[in-house]
Structures are given as structure tokens and as C-alpha cells.
Amino acid sequence: MNHKTVIVKIGTSSLTDDSGKLDPEALQTHAEALTRLKQAGTRVVLVSSGAVAAGFHELGLTHRPCSLAEKQASAAIGQGHLVQRYREAFATHGEICAQVLLTRSDFDHRIRFLNALHTLQLLLERDIIPVINENDSVAGDEIRWGDNDILAALVAGLLQADWLLFVTDTDGLYTANPLDHPQAEKIRRIPPFHGSMPAQVDNSKSRLGSGGMRSKLIAARKASRAGIRVYIGTAGKTPGWMLDAVKGRGSGTYMDAEPRRSSRKEQWIAAHSRPRGHLKVDDGAAQALVERGKSLLPCGVVEVGGDFEAGEIVEVAGPDGTLGRGVARFSAPLLRRVKGWSTREISRLIPNHPEEVIHRNDWVSFRGEAPSTNRSPQEASR
Ligand SMILES: Nc1ncnc2c1ncn2[C@@H]1O[C@H](COP(=O)(O)OP(=O)(O)O)[C@@H](O)[C@H]1O
Ligand SMILES: N[C@@H](CCC(=O)OP(=O)(O)O)C(=O)O
């Protein structure tokens, strides 16, 4: 049987009571809906927030923490509670779940990226529901807005999922935040978008959530580019609501997938890895790469930035801006020496050199704009 893979991301706002603490009943309801989805023959992966909410009171706090250290300590306490609750809730339906903690940097390193993939694949093969959260207590600067929205999109790409469902406190994307704009209207369907946001989304969020709609849209765009359909909505009233949502019968917002599903290697180059350097190329090389589907040769390179080894990712810009990313076959020092040289010159002076700076098969063009969550070294320092 060809199982569909569905990633379900549940935000803090859908897991907590009015005091901001973990709400075991809400969790039980989600577990039931997830079980229905799974028992209908779907491979289900849960990305669940809620660790901070489940832990802050035992840290002696009366409200959700604001400082990074308190959030990390709360999550360290709460993550155990959270997973224990899921284990109990799934057990009542005869299901087993397993905790998987990831950080963004796990997706940067090809080996860790593949290790995460193999772990998740084996769990799914053995009929176990992975329950993923960010590894908050070690994530450092990675705990910021929308972590789990982006993490869910990365996991969806990793597993080449069919669907990514965002369960939140608002039943879809509205033309503006409905809390501040009561006349805002729900947008039922969004096509894949490249440039500006398809609605007014500021950084406002629910009382307890961290990314708001903006981070969900950025994550949705990432998933859509990888060929994954996205749904954003609230938890439905019946246990079959997730199943209905993936059949197109949800009341929230749907985002279409780009028609072409990108390969895991393309995803890793374009979206997961952090570029270790940047190259500036001339107009001819830019056209060869983007329009004619050719490899990048040393003669087209005009500038080399960063300190990368052969085999690492570099971002490439032409005279009119960023073009894409690829795996460099030259180290930065060697490329600085040979940039602008013809292949014949290089062959004469440097034996056993690779012919291409970036081979066609290791290249991904950006269509419209660069990925938003993996900043290049230059972007990161801005
Ligand atoms: N255009 C919009 N449409 C819907 N919700 C919006 C919009 N702009 C901002 N929001 C806010 O996004 C919040 C949901 O995001 P967030 O708090 O991060 O939830 P979660 O904890 O589920 O991840 C909503 O409570 C809403 O206030
Ligand atoms: N990892 C944190 C949640 C971070 C997060 O992205 O929260 P949310 O915006 O509510 O999905 C936790 O478990 O509390």
C-alpha cells in the first residue's frame, strides 16, 4: 500500500488552557484525531509545541517565561511531561509514539540530515508516531519566533510528505489579523507565492504562540516549493477532522503545492544547508546557469567571498542579484586563484583540477527570491 505522509504541527495556542498551562484534554483530543488519520492508512508525524507551557510552573513561574534561559529551563522540565501525556493519550487508542528532538542546525549538516531521515523512516516503518519538537534546551539562538512552524516545513521536506497541516487558534489565514480587524475575511485558497505575503500578516501572534501567521506562511511557502500541500486551521470538532482536511474538506486555508516536487538533494542545497561562501559571476555565466542549464566554470567567476572547502554550499549572485545555490567543487583559496581563467589555462597550470566550479547536477536556481530561513553568511551579518 502506498501510504501518504502527513505532518501535523500543533502550536502552543492549541495545547493550553486560559492560564497558559498545558491542557491535557486538548492534547487527548488531538491524539484522537491523529489516530484516526493514521488508522486510515496515513503515515503520521506530529510536530508539537507545548514544552514551555508544560514546564514553566514547576520552574516556579506564574506565567509563560520571556527570557531565553527561563524558556529553555521550562522546556527541559516540560518536554518530559509533554511526551508522557502523548504516550498515555496514544496508548488509549493502541498507538505508540516516540520523541524526536531536532534543532535547525541538524538540517545544515548532510550527515545529521540523513540520520534524522533514517530515524524517522524506521519509526514510521514500525508503525510508531514520531512526536517532534525543537531541542529547546540546546537550541540557543535558534529559539525564536516560529521555530516549530519552520521545523515542521523542514521535516515535511525531509520526508517528502504529501501534506503539512498547521493546527492553530485561528481557522485559517485572514486578509488581516482578525483580532485587530474584525472585518477581515478568510482566504480559502492561496496559490504558491514567491514575493510578498498574500495577506496582511504582521508579527502579532496568539497570547502564547511564538511565530504568528507570518512564520506559518514562510513555512508554508517552503513546503509548497518542495511539492507539499499545506492546510492552516483550527482543530475540528470531530475526531475525523484531520482526515477531512486532507481530503480538501477543511474550513481553514489551503495552499497549493508547486507542481514539481523537488528532490531531497535539491531541498538540501536550496533550503536546508547554510551557504559557507558566496560567488559573484558575470552576465554570461549567470545566463548559462539560469537560462541554459549549464554548469558554472571558473572563467565566469568574478568574486569569491567566504572560506569554504570543496563540497560545501555557496550562494551565487549575478550582476542583477542572487541566482541560486550549489555545491562548490573548488575550495575558496583555489577558486580565488583561478577565477576568470579559461579551462585550458587551468589544465595547463594546475593538474587534476575539477572542470566545473559548480556542476549542473549540484545547482538549484531560486525562482523569484532566496529561501527566507537559511541566511547566507552575508545576510546573517546584516
Ligand atoms: N492575517 C492573519 N490571519 C490569521 N491570523 C493572523 C493573521 N495575522 C496575524 N495572525 C495571528 O496569528 C496567530 C496564530 O499564530 P501563533 O500565535 O504563532 O499560533 P501557534 O501557537 O498555533 O503557532 C493568531 O492568533 C492571530 O492573532
Ligand atoms: N519548542 C517550544 C515552542 C516553540 C514554538 O514554535 O511555539 P508555537 O509558535 O506555539 O508553535 C515549546 O515546545 O514550547
Give 273-316 pLDDT, tens digit per residue.
778 999 999 999 999 999 999 999 999 999 999 999 998 899 99
Which residue's CA is the nearest one to ligand 1's atom 9? 177
- To test the pocket of ligand 2, the residue of 46, 138, 210 to mutate (highest count of ligand atoms within 8 Å of its CB) is 210
Give yes or no for residue 376 having a pLDDT over 60.
Answer: no
Ligand 2, pocket residues at CB < 6 Å = 11-12, 49-53, 75, 133-134, 136, 146-148, 209-211
Residue 60, classified by CB atoms within 10 Å of its CB into exposed (0-12), middle (13-18) or buried (19+), is: exposed
So what's the pLDDT on residue 378?
A: 35
Ligand 1, residue 168: give the atom nearest the CA.
22
Which ligand lies nearest the alpha carbon of 131? Answer: 2
List, by residue range, all CATH 2.30.130.10 domains of the chain: 274-380
Residue range 351-368: average pLDDT? 85
CATH 3.40.1160.10 fits 4-265, yes or no: yes
So what's the pLDDT on residue 104?
A: 78
Q: What cell was used for 53?
A: 507551557
Instruction: Name the pairing type of β-strands 313-318 and 321-328.
Output: antiparallel
Alpha-carbon gap, residue 273 to 105, rounded angstroms: 9
Q: How far is CA 139 from CA 73, 105, 357, in A?
A: 12, 9, 34
Which residue's CA is the nearest one to ligand 1's atom 8? 177
So what's the pLDDT on residue 205?
A: 60
Alpha-carbon gap, residue 261 to 223, rounded angstroms: 10
Q: What is the mean pLDDT of the chain?
A: 88
- Residue 322's DSSP bridge partners are 317
Alpha-carbon gap, residue 221 to 168, rounded angstroms: 17
What is the signed CA dihedral for 75, 79, 80, 83, rounded to 10 degrees? 170
So what's the pLDDT on residue 237?
A: 92
Q: Is 280 in the pocket of ligand 1 (CB under 6 A)?
A: no
Give yes or no for residue 203 having a pLDDT over 70.
Answer: no
- 53 alpha carbon – ligand 2 mean position (Å): 9
Band of pLDDT at residue 61, cut at 50, 70 and 90: very high
51 contacts: CB under 8 Å, gap ≥ 6: 74, 75, 78, 79, 82, 133, 136
- The pTM is what? 0.84
Band of pLDDT at residue 68, cut at 50, 70 and 90: confident
Amino acid at site 266: E
Give yes or no for residue 140 having a pLDDT over 70.
Answer: no
So what's the pLDDT on residue 377?
A: 33
Alpha-carbon gap, residue 202 to 7, rounded angstroms: 25
Q: Which of 5-19, 36-50, 190-204, 241-255 has the lowest mean pLDDT?
A: 190-204
Ligand 1, residue 201: give the atom nearest the CA.
8
Instruction: Name the pairing type of β-strands 97-102 and 129-134.
Output: parallel
Which 8-state DSSP code applies to residue 373? Answer: S
Q: Choose between 169 and 269: higher pLDDT.
A: 169
Q: Is 188 annotated as a binding residue?
A: no
Give yes or no for residue 375 having a pLDDT over 50.
Answer: no
Q: Is 213 annotated as a binding residue?
A: yes
List, by residue range, all CATH 3.40.1160.10 domains of the chain: 4-265
| Nearest CA among 50, 131, 37 for reference residue 93 | 37
Band of pLDDT at residue 66, cut at 50, 70 and 90: confident
Give yes or no for residue 187 having a pLDDT over 90.
Answer: yes
Q: Is 11 in the pocket of ligand 1 (CB under 6 A)?
A: yes
- 179 alpha carbon – ligand 2 mean position (Å): 21
Grid look-up 505532518 returns 7
Give yes or no for residue 352 having a pLDDT over 50.
Answer: yes
- The CATH code for residues 274-380 is 2.30.130.10
Give yes or no for residue 118 having a pLDDT over 90.
Answer: yes
Helices (H), the chain: 24-39, 51-55, 68-91, 110-125, 136-139, 147-158, 212-225, 241-246, 264-267, 283-290, 332-338, 343-349, 377-380
Q: Is 213 in the pocket of ligand 1 (CB under 6 A)?
A: yes
Q: Is 148 annotated as a binding residue?
A: yes
